[in-house]
Chain A
């Protein structure tokens, strides 16, 4: 079994290649795979038929099976089992599959580029069906079930350019996967109670399961929903006619002979155990017969040959499921024969429609006439199949239907006669639409139509049909092989060994019923012929498809309504909603439960805190009300510097240092980034919005309230009590905070520096916006005095002239090179004092940064502070000497620094692994250096160097983007509206 399965899927993979070489003739090669599987199956049949199907897999004389553990923890295994039911359906799948593939070789155009993929899907589909009907594990079966749904979707949507194809494919997918999911729920319910996911074991345990009552009723009903959706029974039936958008070979195979049989298979599989459950009969027999009648009736209304067959298929599937649903051994016997008969005649009929469409260019029975004379062989083959469908004697369809009537006659339930009436009526409709199909396709029309001139199909194109219709005829006359299969299957339900299928069983009640249905069918057809005007008929009731569309539309409208109410596109609105929830939920909980309240209040730990507090609060309030942008920025900075003071007083020197540095760099960044924005953008912002104010105040009160309760609730000693000792003896450093960052909580820090890298990348991307960073510009490549970093309003014209004159005089006297690129700036941009101070300080600041980095393990400092100090040194160089100075002072690109820093930090974590230690283990070496004396080197310093590089890279990136690049963009073409009227010639450019 596994070999066929793998061979089919492997062939699917090879298909695209094969078709590129052999074109459409590759179908002949591909068809041999299922054909070989078919032959293999025939050789296996004796063993299957000799086995006892009631035995558990693995027992002597049990049906052939395979067990491979897959997920033992979940009790799921690749378990397969071949009993008679599986084998029978598999014969159809492989046999019809081989013939349809054979047929495809003449159906498609030779140069169709899509046929490779098409064939792959068809073969994979055969594989999926093989898996579905042989799987013994229900989960595996479900997986194959879903694979068939997906492949069906892909095959229906084969003509991707057609909206009908896409829409039908989507409908089919939604409905069959909906059914599949419902079925999965049922499967899991049964499997959980049965304690096994083996189909054979679940069936064997059906006695105990049925005794559970409602639970099992519901579980089985859910599974039946899956089967009904797959086999296109009412109310899911409409996807199947829609699926006729697929190429006709797909319709013949998936939507007549194979996939839709999956639902039939499932019902047949469950009937021996679960036909007693409460909802079984109404859902299988009831809905099945209803479907048979609706399908048959709708088939009579169609003009498209394919749609006649499609509704006919819906009708026949309802019939087959109804018969399996009867649940008696006789019914199982008859239904299996009926399944085979249907597979044979329906595939033939679809294939003949394919030939008609292929050779005449239409499937409309109002346009076809006289094909009987043009295509005699096709007419014969299709005629046999149609007669079998209609249930005319000497054919397999007749034999099977007789057996069905026989079994229905022997029902000893109250609803038996009604079921029988339904079947006879259904069969009459079947007779009627069979006639409509046959005469519609091949007849000579009375009313005037353009006679179609067409060539008869070639023999090789006809071969698959001839094989199928021959089988219909042969099995109709000699039904013994079919009887063998049916009898063996029904034996599982206690079927008597003397059941027979016969071409003629004598004059009995069943034959009488057949006669009635044939007669009634002729009558129906006669009425339809008389009323046929050639125009589509008006719908009498709302169709299931319309209901489906309406419900989808209601869903769409609900989705749009909800989206429109919640996704309004305003970030402020979203934030307001989020913050309101943040306010209400925790506050509600905090108020609802008893919260502890502290007793030991102090006004302040230190009098200075009161002063600092007053300054911060003033900063906050002024920041909100500030009439100018930079005033607001400055006030926020005031609060930041206030934090520095708090940290310093609170025994947190590291924090004070870091915040001080960050605050300074942030202030510079603000000025650099926002210098382009005009004043008017700030107008009117300081008016108080009370709604927001109330929300904000409530939020802050809530946070503080919860913080107070939290502090009062604290009962345990903090874990950080052990940190000082740990830091010194395990981390080899005295600065506990630094050791925490580079050793105890090193993963956090590692994560953080990657965030810094992401932010730096973001800054650069936003400012450079895809322009590329360009080559580093050297000072000697730029004309002195040529760099003018933008221009802003400087007061009146007269004032400007004066300022310029003064500035130029200074520039002339400062040809001394204090900085490498100082003289590239225009005169009025230069400051001699700043240049000199920068010259004096830069290197000492850099040395200080390295010291802070290295000493940080024992004294306040570390990679963050060190990196920020180095960044400040760069900032000074940039501010004093402009963008060329920045690129002169740092020859390494920020990306290199950041990447190198992360690499170094990562490396310091990985290295201990090579020594057999844990990741990020810290080592210490003591050594002696001349002049420096006794020293200890701790390996976590390497990590800290990485942090240093990343932070430095971030600052450099900020300067390069918000500084240099904005300079460059604003040079000459400033985005500021109020342009500086001084011309380039006056500013000394090119001097």
Chain B
């Protein structure tokens, strides 16, 4: 099996630019990065899958190793359609994020930041409580004497 240098170079560039864009904070560029990564990985599968040959359409007299490998092709076909679905989903997300925040960036998660800035003090666990010496209190905490009822 020969190793196609052109394909490897194309794959490398697609992946490098894809990774670069995915690391950005702008959602649209992240999406473009995902698409480039998708193309790069598809090409990688095709390259690694091996031999180039006749289209995998069965001809009774053609030996099996004369076809191009159908297995990576089936994988890639699935991947292409899935990438379309993911792209559509992310596009919808970008639009939604735009209508909500008028921005196209991955905002930092405020809840996460809140957690990282919290202290070990927990109201439920650590707040001081008064000792009480009866269970028979009304809603305002005044003792009630059941024996007097």
Contacts and interface: CB of A to CB of B under 8 A. Distances in A.
Interface in B47-77: 47-50, 52-60, 62, 64-65, 67-71, 73-74, 76-77
A651 B93 CA distance: 36
A213 interface: no
Contact of B96 (A620, A749, A767): A767
A685 B24 contact: yes
A725 interface: yes
A313 interface: no
Q: Is the interface of A mostly helix, strand, loop or mixed?
A: helix
A595 to B, nearest CB: 14
A975 B99 contact: yes
Given A359-B147, A568-B113, A707 B64 contact: no
A363 B133 contact: yes
Contacts of A632: 28-29, 32
Contact of A646 (B26, B46, B95, B122): B46
B116 A567 contact: yes
Contacts of A247: 135
Interface stretch (A38-46, A129-137, A730-738): A730-738
A321 to B, nearest CB: 29
Contacts of B120: 553-554, 556-557, 560
Contact of B146 (A167, A358, A609, A961): A358
Contact of B85 (A364, A720, A735, A954): A954
Contacts of B64: 721-725
Interface size, A (range): 35 or more
Interface string A584-615: 00000000000000101111110001101100
Given A358-B147, A714-B50, A721-B65, A961 B44 contact: no
B108 A673 contact: no
A324 interface: no
A724 B70 contact: yes
A748 interface: yes
B125 A167 contact: yes
Contact of A455 (B16, B18, B143, B148): B148
B95 A163 contact: no
Interface of A: 109, 159, 163-164, 166-167, 170, 247-248, 303-304, 357-364, 367, 454-457, 549, 552-554, 556-557, 560, 563-565, 567-572, 575-576, 579, 598, 600-605, 609-610, 612-613, 616-617, 620-621, 623-624, 629, 632-633, 636, 639-640, 643, 646-647, 650-655, 658-659, 662, 665-666, 669-670, 672-674, 676-677, 681-682, 685, 689, 692-693, 695-697, 699-701, 703-704, 707-708, 710-712, 714, 718-725, 727-728, 733-737, 740-741, 745, 748-749, 752, 755-756, 759-760, 762-763, 766-767, 769, 858-860, 864, 951, 954, 958, 961-962, 966, 969, 975
B92 A700 contact: no
Contacts of A650: 46, 52, 68
B106 A571 contact: yes
Contacts of B25: 572
Nearest to A457: B147
Nearest to A361: B143
Interface of B: 1-26, 28-29, 32, 35-36, 39-40, 42-44, 46-50, 52-60, 62, 64-65, 67-71, 73-74, 76-78, 80-89, 91-96, 98-99, 103-104, 106, 108-113, 115-120, 122, 124-127, 129, 131-137, 143-148
B87 A669 contact: yes
A863 to B, nearest CB: 10
Contacts of B8: 704, 707-708
A360 B70 CA distance: 87
B77 A609 contact: no
Contacts of B69: 718, 720
Given A711-B1, A966-B95, A613 B9 contact: yes
Nearest to B65: A721
Given A170-B125, A564-B117, 6 more contacts: A568-B108, A676-B99, A689-B24, A697-B16, A703-B15, A720-B70
B138 to A, nearest CB: 10
Q: Which of A164, A650, A756 has the most C-beta atoms of chain B within 10 angstroms of its own C-beta?
A: A650
A711 B23 CA distance: 29
Contact of A604 (B6, B16, B99, B111): B6
A681 B104 contact: yes
Nearest to B93: A766
A617 B113 contact: no
Contacts of B1: 600, 711, 714
Contact of A701 (B12, B62, B87, B147): B12
A652 B55 contact: yes
Contacts of A563: 115-116
Given A358-B146, A670-B91, A673-B91, A569 B24 contact: no
B44 A572 contact: no
A572 B94 contact: no
Nearest to A954: B85
A642 to B, nearest CB: 8
A628 B49 CA distance: 37
B13 to A, nearest CB: 5
A363 B134 contact: yes
A736 B55 CA distance: 9
A813 B115 CA distance: 65
Contacts of A962: 88, 91-92, 95
A601 B1 CA distance: 9
Contact of B109 (A163, A248, A569): A569
A380 to B, nearest CB: 18
Given A623-B36, A662-B83, A651 B67 contact: yes
Contact of B78 (A457, A617, A749): A749
Contact of B44 (A669, A670, A707): A707
B57 A756 contact: no
B46 A610 contact: no
Nearest to A652: B73
Contacts of A640: 35, 39
A651 B52 contact: yes
Contact of A633 (B24, B32, B83): B32
Contacts of B111: 569
Contacts of B16: 620, 696-697, 699-701
Contacts of A677: 28, 94, 98, 104
A655 B20 contact: no
Given A624-B21, A673-B91, A737 B10 contact: no
B126 A553 contact: yes
B6 A695 contact: no
Q: Which of A367, A654, A737 has the most C-beta atoms of chain B within 10 angstroms of its own C-beta?
A: A737
Contact of A662 (B4, B80, B94, B115): B80
Contacts of B3: 598, 600-602, 708, 711-712
A643 B29 contact: no
Contact of B2 (A362, A601, A629, A958): A601
Contacts of B115: 560, 563-564, 567
Nearest to A761: B89
B81 A756 contact: yes
Contact of A159 (B104, B126, B135, B145): B135
